[in-house]
Amino acid sequence: MKKFLALMISVIVLVSLIGCASSNQKGNNATDNEQNTPVTGDQTGSDSGEAKLPSPTIKEGPIKIAYVPSVMNVYYDQVLSGMKEEVDKLGGNGVVEVLIHAPTSNETTVNEQINIMENLIPQGVDVIAISAESDEPLTTLLKKAAEAGIVVFEFNMPTVDLTSEYYVSNIGYDQFEAGRLIGEWAVNHFGDKPTKTAILEGFPGTLNTQRLEGFLKGIEGHDNFDVAFSQTANWTRDDGQSVTENMLEAHPDIDFIAGLYDEMSLGAYNAVKAAGLQDKIVIAGYDNTEAGYDSIQKGEMAMTVDNGAKNIGSSIVISAYQYCKQGKEVERVIDVGSIALDKNNINEFDTDSYKYVKQEPVPNYLQD
């Protein structure tokens, strides 16, 4: 009887072991099948299945930065100047190389940037620095860039997803706050005087909305400001002039014109001067372009807001170098700040900020 029970126990154990072995073999086969399946972005990175931004690295050799503004204009030329000067200080293109990939028109920015990103990702650049009204339309491409090991910096982008794992930093300034500074300046300038106000807006969108809402916040609670006119002038001087000409026919008693970009404000001044109203109507601008600066110096435009365009460019290159060459983490949000400029402080502004100034290499630059 004992021998029979022992035999039965042995058979049961053997069957159990065979069952476990069969079960384990099936598990291994499943794993093999998973390993043979091409890995997609949804399967890489974190445990949640999301592709993640490449970690800080210490890269040998030069790093290539693809510069992708929303369009090339005066402002983005200033940003580029800041980038080029930092490259000079670091030792030139043998250390950091900046490649310009810019859309040709504001009207086609989103579609062109999508095409640019799709072409850049397989080219093996190290960094993409991109500006847009929002990063939402670019999310899929930002994810692909992360999967390809490309580090992304967003700049001058008013709406960003701060939870996104696809970019390192958002570098820029607060569009709302810069707009608010125009309103604050106007309140200080006009005091309690009844002020009939016109606003020249840019293209409809987030950028325009934040600037506009900031301005309205700046004059909030001051009932002497009557906003009698608000219309787009498409960010351009020509449209700023034509829109203002039409506006003056309907509202010849306007006291104050707030342009949400200097170029529109400069066009407004041309229209105001042609109407002989330059001594009556006060004009404010935004972004402190060189032409805007000159206009204030001549007593034409009354004020503008500087938003540190060149500092943004400097910050892009410095942050990219620290992240990709020195293996350092960088700030998630880098705000270069804004300042209102008028006849009282315009001479304090460094006009070299409008242009590229060749720099000499700086030994041990950015080294601890």
What pLDDT sits at residue 162? 84
Domains 63-173+309-337 and 176-306 share a fold: yes
Q: What is the mean pLDDT of the chain?
A: 87
31 pLDDT above the threshold of 50: no
Range of lowest pLDDT (101-110, 178-187, 229-238, 332-341)? 101-110
pLDDT of residue 73: 86
| Residue type present at position 183 | G
Q: Is the pLDDT of residue 104 over 60?
A: yes
Model confidence at 18, pLDDT cuts 50, 70, 90, reads very low
Asked if residues 70 and 113 have their Cβ atoms less than 8 Å apart, the reply is: yes
Can you give the pTM of this predicted structure? 0.81
Question: Region 342-363: what's the mean pLDDT?
Answer: 97
Res 51: pLDDT: 63
Is a pLDDT exceeding 50 seen at residue 7? no
Helices (runs of H) and strands (runs of E) counted in the chain: 10, 12
Q: pLDDT at residue 274 above 90? A: yes
Query: φ and ψ at 16, to 5 degrees?
Result: -65, -45
pLDDT digits (tens, 9 = 90+) for 325-349: 999 999 999 999 999 999 999 999 9
163-168 contact pairs (CB < 8 A, 24+): 164/135, 164/139, 165/45, 165/46, 165/50, 165/51, 165/52, 165/53, 166/51, 166/53, 166/139, 166/142, 167/53, 167/135, 167/142, 168/53, 168/319, 168/323, 168/330, 168/332
Q: 9: pLDDT confidence band, cut at 50, 70 and 90?
A: very low
Report the pLDDT value the prediction gives residue 21, as an integer from 0 to 100. Answer: 34
CATH T-level assignment (fold) for domain 63-173+309-337: Rossmann fold (3.40.50)
Write down the architecture of domain 176-306 according to CATH.
Answer: 3-Layer(aba) Sandwich (3.40)
pLDDT digits (tens, 9 = 90+) for 124-142: 899 999 998 888 888 999 9
Domain layout of the chain by residue ranges: 63-173+309-337, 176-306
Q: Which residues contact 356 (CB under 8 A, 6 or more apart)?
A: 80, 81, 84, 85
For residues 272 and 283, the answer to whether their CB atoms sit within 8 Å is: yes
| Of 349, 342, 347, nearest in space to 189 by CA | 342
d(CA 242, CA 263): 13
